Amino acid sequence: MIRLLTHLGAYLESAFVGVGYTIELMVVSTSFTSKHLWRRRRFVVEQLFTCGIRPLPVVLVVATFTGMILALQTGLELEEFGAKDRIAAIIGVGLCREMGPFMTALILTASVGAGIAAEIGTMKVSEEIDALEIMSIKPHSFLVMPRIVGLAVMCPLLTLITDVVGILGGLIVGATRLQISPLVYMRGVQNALSYEIWFLGLPKDVYTGLVKALVFGVIIASVSSSAGLRASGGAIGVGRATRSSVIHCFLLIIIVGYYMTSFFYS
């Protein structure tokens, strides 16, 4: 019993230390953005490419088929009630509010976040991070800040692409399988989104999704970098860091997503 409590205590302590370290990393690295953004412009551009362009094919395929599946599943059910043209509203609102940012964040966690944890973890166990610290180069500014900027910019942009492509995927199924006119479908999407408050020219359902995506991007970059920077114990440690970063990102995205929805819509 005492042994169990000791293990539990050690686990909780390590969890709290990890949470504290990740929050500190996020705050300190973000604070470097204004000071070091221009100096690190090359690394930032590289990260924009890594976080935005590389995962784009996966995002496009997933978004298209998600829209198509959603249209088919809901369309076939609604057809029985003579309301199949309502799929436009369901797909439009569902993708923009929740599924767009959520799916994009999960894809980025699995592709970019895992890559960040593995890359920084490998740098940690091969003493490259120590070398940076001895040269008085802060990993927060040199490694983490460009990744936070990259994901904070690219996650909303990819979410926007997911929203548009997913809606078009629904349109394809609507037109070919459910015989809904593309014009009626697009008008349905527009009507479903347009009655809410607008901000920066975007309907509420769209901009709240983009705000969520921005927060998810910062979470993925911070949690993955934190896991990498705390890696130890060679290749096994890097594997452990990568795994833990993916799990923690998934959990945080779902939990934070719920509270943000609650904040925006309750």
Partner 1 sequence: MESKPRIIPDDEPIIQLKDVHKRFGKKEVLRGLDLEVRRGETFVILGPSGTGKSVTLKLVVGLLKPDQGEVYVTRVPVHRASAEQMDEVRSRIGYLFQSGALINWLNVAENVALPLTEHTRNLPHEIDRRVDEYLSMVHMIASKYQMPTELSGGQKKRVALARVLAGAPSVILYDEPTAGLDPVMTANISMLIRKVQRELGVSSILVTHDLPCAYEAGDRIAMVADGKVVYHADTETFRHTDHPAVRHFLSGGRGRNSDPEGKP
Q: Is 3 in the site for partner 1 (CB under 8 A)?
A: no
Q: Is 132 in the site for partner 1 (CB under 8 A)?
A: yes
Q: Is 24 in the site for partner 1 (CB under 8 A)?
A: no
List the x/- string, 88-127, binding to partner 1 by CB under 8 A.
-----------------------------------x--xx
With respect to partner 1, which residue has the nearer C-beta, 2 or 135? 135
**239/219 Cα distance (integer angstroms):** 20
With respect to partner 1, which residue has the nearer C-beta, 139 or 257? 139
Please answer whether residues 212 and 205 qualify as being in contact, where contact means their C-beta atoms are separated by less than 8 angstroms: no
Q: H or E element: which one contains 175?
A: helix 145-176
With respect to partner 1, which residue has the nearer C-beta, 60 or 132? 132
Q: How far is the CB of 242 from partner 1 (least distance, A)?
A: 17
Q: Contacts with partner 1 in 134-163 (CB under 8 A)? A: 134-137
Which residues, at least 6 apart from 248, have a Cβ–Cβ distance to it below 8 Å? 223, 227
Q: Supply 222's token pair.
A: 């911070």
* Beta strand pairing call for 202-203 and 198-199: antiparallel
Dihedral (C-alpha) 55, 58, 61, 63: value to the nearest 10 degrees? Answer: -60
Q: Is 266 in the site for partner 1 (CB under 8 A)?
A: no
- The rounded radius of gyration (Å) of the Cα atoms in the chain is 21
Residues composing the chain: 266
- Binding range to partner 1, per CB under 8 A, among 92-100, 101-109, 129-137, 210-218: 129-137
The site for partner 1 (CB under 8 A) is made up of 123, 126-128, 130-137
